[in-house]
A and B are shown apart, each in its own frame.
Chain A
Amino acid sequence: MNPETAVLVAVSLPLAGAALIALARRSPDAREGATLVTGVALFATVASLIAPVQAGLRPSVALVEMLPGMPIAFTVEPLGLLFALVASGLWIVNSLYSIGYMRANEERNQTRFYVCFAGAIAATMGVAFAANGLTLFLFYEMLTLVTYPLVTHHGTEEAKRGGRVYLGVLLSTSIMFFLFALVITWHAAGTLDFVPGGILSGRLGNAALGGLLALYMFGIGKAALMPFHRWLPAAMVAPTPVSALLHAVAVVKAGVFTVVKVIVYVFGVDSIRGLASVDWLPTVAAFTIVAASIVALRSDNLKRRLAYSTVSQLSYVILAAALLTPLSVVGAALHIAAHAFGKITLFFAAGAIYTAAHKTEVSQLDGIGRRMPWTMGAFAVGAVSMVGLPPTAGFVSKWFILSGAYDAGHWVAVGTIAASTLLSAGYLLPIVFRAFFRPAGDDGGHAHGEAPMPMVVAMVATAAATLLMFVFADLPLSLARQLVGGQA
């Protein structure tokens, strides 16, 4: 398969998978088999693109022209490939986990769940490989819409309310700010193509650049920059595999990916470095990091705590990209992957606890580590990665971000990273401590063991990936370095 075909296959394969899943709705085994087969095939397809991209090729395909001079087009570049690899890899694991979770909890509408899931992956591939702002926007909106039925999966009043916030925030930010920013960019630059070095240099004044950056940053609501982060906790009503999709595989990752992409390929790191009108962004990101950490620290609901942890971690990526140094941009790219592995592990663990023990609050978890050692072991690995300690993936990315902040002499950023490390240790490590070192509380004699097998396998796999990314950081690092032209 030549690289150009592989790009098209990568985008259309999940859609074909969705059709297969819908056809196989009568037989759950065939349906879930279709999901897994599609996942493996997708990962293989995306992986086949690694060699050409590392060799410096940028396979591109243009489809129909959606607006004059602006086709729906795909180009594989290092950052997009890294994102696609993470998303397609985690889809396999997540499907495995979903099978266990959905069956054990006897969820309804499972076919719709798997179909929408595959649709979300297709949209993610489109976002990852988009060659211009319009294509990216198309798939970005598709991702919002196709994940909406997943968020409201339970169909209860609470789910509908959560869905309304989810859709309301994501659609309104994207239409009001993101689309608006795209039209302005098109008007100013005459193109929306993603070009290394940016397309806006010399096209807009200093103040206009600052305003445009604000439109982009707040318009990309999926990146959950405060005050547009509310949708993420609201979406917690969804089943746990969906939370994993939102937090690790696709949605928020698509957000921060778009942020990095816009900063690198639309504005251009070098052309906005040092502009007074754009230096508010690190401060806003730093505020989000700290504020979200504090909220996380104060919430007893486990999923809610993890959700705010995500809000905080996402702003690491935004902060890193906004520092505009090669090292920090590499850190931003790595953190997309590192956070994905760590956070999916944490959510898998939270879902496993819910499935096996029906517990949702942190204060109920005393001593649970002895009954569910694999789950809590994986949770510990994920937590360590979130804090950013070796030997986990989180350490690698944080190291680069910190070096970048140091290089830039941005002491606010350095201080924020230090403070947030303490805060995240404060809200995650006590859970591990509780689970393993406190005596089990009286829970009415409800006996339970580990979660179902597929879930445990999935968790262990992602925890292992978190550890492996620390040891074998070469592949993501080489891709991320290409992003900044080998400067770091």
Chain B
Amino acid sequence: MIDGTHLPVLQVVVPLLCAPLIVLVRGGRIGWAIATAASVFFLASSLAILLEVQRVGVISYAIGSWPPPWGIEYRIDAANAFMLVLLGLVASVVAPYAWASVRAEIPRDNHYLFYALYCLALAGLGGIAVTGDAFNLFVFLEISSLASYVLIALDRDRRALLAAYQYLILGTIGATFIVIGVGLLYLMTGTLNLADIASRLGDVRQARPVLAALAFLTVGISLKAALFPLHMWLPGAYAHAPSAVSALLAATATKVSVYVLLRFYFSVFGTTAVFAAMPMGDVLLALSIAAMIVASAAAAFQTDLKRLLAYSSVAQIGYITLGVSFATATGLTGGIVHLFNHGVTKGALFMLVGAIAFRLGSSRIDRMAGLARSMPLTCAGIVVGGLGLIGVPGTAGFVSKWYLVLAAIEAGSWVIAFVVVASSLIAVAYVWRFVEVAYFRPPSEETARLKEPPAALLVPAGVLLAASVYFGVEPSLTLGAAYGAAEALLAGPR
């Protein structure tokens, strides 16, 4: 039997080593095989870790056997174990999807680079999730970000270059803010281990540099997480990236950043410092509500389906941070479960839109007239995913919204509860823009001769979509994991 003790580090090292391996063999097909294998390994390993965490509580792994706080520690509790599962699930569904999608969207010579960067991005995202070291976290953040910039720029569309450039500038500003925050914490505590920082903060928890660190970290992470109004990079990046990249990033990248925010807020600074001494709860609340309303409204006015979904992502991040802003068990559970549910749903949606673009060569809504006639399965899938975004009962989106509304009512803020339910109606408006065009316009000559996209694209999307419906009807797994994560976070600094 394989010994499970080294899984936390293998989780990162395997995809990290696969990247140069792919570059060495320089083959598109073999690159795909390696990337898929790495993703599946990632999923299997993350599930094993989740089970282990549910058994023992917290896994601490000392890199190179240097004990923390001197060495780098990988520390996994219920919160990041859940993140790893989301990452693994999405990555191992997107990798098979990439086979057909990449061949259509990326020049042949660059295929192997795509898969190498895919592995690199996965390694970076996984690293962020497992590490218990603040500076290590920054390094992984930059590994994943640099890989994402290139992945976005790989698309044939020249606007992808602009989007990647803009993302690079804003992403680097965000990362630098994070390093500044980490540096201030280091100056105050003399350590970089997150748990160690938390225990040493002690009396200086209210000192001005620590509060400044909190502010820098909040802004930096919010940039990476595309929290309104720091989301400017996101619509362009998701709209012009290759479909597989949009699906991967939309489902994971911003989610991992939200996890980092949670980790700093709850496990390092502690709820009192963040929500009582500083008004972060109110700030997050206001920004979340603005995101839910403004970004949803912006989505309703888009002419491109991918860009529409991207704006919807900004809005959905608002729902996640709304749950965080309550800093209660119900709110956090709602936020974390929405993080998972939305990741799965949006991943599926981006894959389906990519499948349409595979045949149509565009994701402009006005070119999709009557598409439901020629691609019934794909369009039905988008409708189901769209219903998930609205939060119709029977989809995963409903479960998370239920918890968010309940959390608002528990917090006594009836108005906010009402805003949450009312804002999902804007989602109806943008989902229905697609429905009316695809189902009720007569097919154009262009759409009439299209066929359903190949199964290689539809099956992976279908898997994620099925997951999003399954977790809407039988959410005990996700809710249990999210509740565990919320408890682990609310337990506060150790």
Contacts and interface: CB of A to CB of B under 8 A. Distances in A.
Asked whether the complex places CB atoms of A and B closer than 8 A, the reply is yes
Interface of A: 64-68, 72, 134, 137-138, 141-142, 145, 149, 152, 155, 159-160, 163-164, 167-168, 171-172, 175-176, 179-180, 183-184, 186-187
Contact of B417 (A72, A159, A160, A180): A180
In terms of DSSP, what is the predominant structure of the interface of chain A? helix
A472 B482 CA distance: 56
Contacts of B399: 66-67
B409 A183 contact: yes
A176 B393 contact: no
B475 A67 contact: yes
Contacts of A167: 428, 432
21 contacts: A65-B474, A65-B476, A66-B393, A66-B472, A66-B474, A66-B475, A67-B402, A67-B475, A68-B479, A72-B473, A138-B393, A168-B428, A171-B428, A175-B391, A175-B422, A175-B425, A180-B405, A180-B418, A183-B417, A184-B409, A187-B409
B255 to A, nearest CB: 22
Interface string B455-494: 0000000000000000011111001000000000000000
B421 A179 contact: yes
A66 B473 contact: yes
A187 B442 CA distance: 47
Interface of B: 387, 390-394, 399, 402, 405-406, 409-410, 417-418, 421-422, 424-425, 428, 432, 436, 439-440, 442, 472-476, 479
5 closest A-B pairs (Cβ-Cβ)? A138-B393, A64-B474, A183-B405, A155-B440, A187-B409
Contact of A149 (B387, B428, B432, B439): B439
Contacts of A66: 393, 399, 472-475
Given A66-B473, A180-B418, A183-B406, A160 B436 contact: yes
Contacts of A142: 393-394
A177 to B, nearest CB: 8
A292 B423 CA distance: 31
Contacts of B440: 152, 155, 159-160, 163
B338 to A, nearest CB: 14
A175 to B, nearest CB: 5
A175 B426 CA distance: 11
Contacts of A171: 390, 425, 428
B394 A175 contact: no
B471 to A, nearest CB: 11
Nearest to B409: A187
B474 A176 contact: no
B394 A138 contact: yes
Given A155-B440, A183-B405, A187-B409, A68 B418 contact: no
Contacts of A172: 425, 428
Nearest to A63: B473
A180 B421 CA distance: 7
Given A66-B475, A67-B475, A175-B424, A164 B406 contact: no
B412 to A, nearest CB: 11
Nearest to A70: B402
B474 A187 contact: no
Contacts of A72: 473
A456 B142 CA distance: 74
A66 B472 CA distance: 7
A227 to B, nearest CB: 17
Given A72-B473, A145-B392, 11 more contacts: A64-B473, A66-B399, A67-B402, A67-B479, A141-B392, A163-B440, A168-B428, A176-B422, A180-B418, A183-B406, A184-B409
Contacts of B439: 149
Contacts of A155: 440, 442
A164 to B, nearest CB: 7
A179 B405 CA distance: 9
Contacts of A68: 476, 479
Contacts of B409: 183-184, 187
Contacts of A180: 405, 417-418, 421
Nearest to A187: B409
Contact of B421 (A65, A137, A168, A175): A175
A68 B475 CA distance: 9
B411 to A, nearest CB: 11
Nearest to B474: A64
A184 to B, nearest CB: 6
Among B392, B399, B422, B479, residue most surrounded by chain A Cβ atoms (within 10 Å)? B392
Nearest to B428: A171
Nearest to A65: B476
Nearest to B406: A183
B402 to A, nearest CB: 6
Contacts of A138: 393-394
Contacts of A159: 440
A208 to B, nearest CB: 10
A159 B475 CA distance: 37
A119 to B, nearest CB: 13
Contacts of B410: 187
Contacts of A186: 406
Contacts of A152: 440
Contacts of B476: 65, 68
Nearest to B442: A155
A167 B386 CA distance: 15
Contacts of A183: 402, 405-406, 409, 417
Nearest to A160: B440
Contacts of B472: 66
Among B387, B393, B394, B406, residue most surrounded by chain A Cβ atoms (within 10 Å)? B393
A54 B378 CA distance: 47
Among A66, A137, A175, residue most surrounded by chain B Cβ atoms (within 10 Å)? A175
B406 A137 contact: no
B415 to A, nearest CB: 11
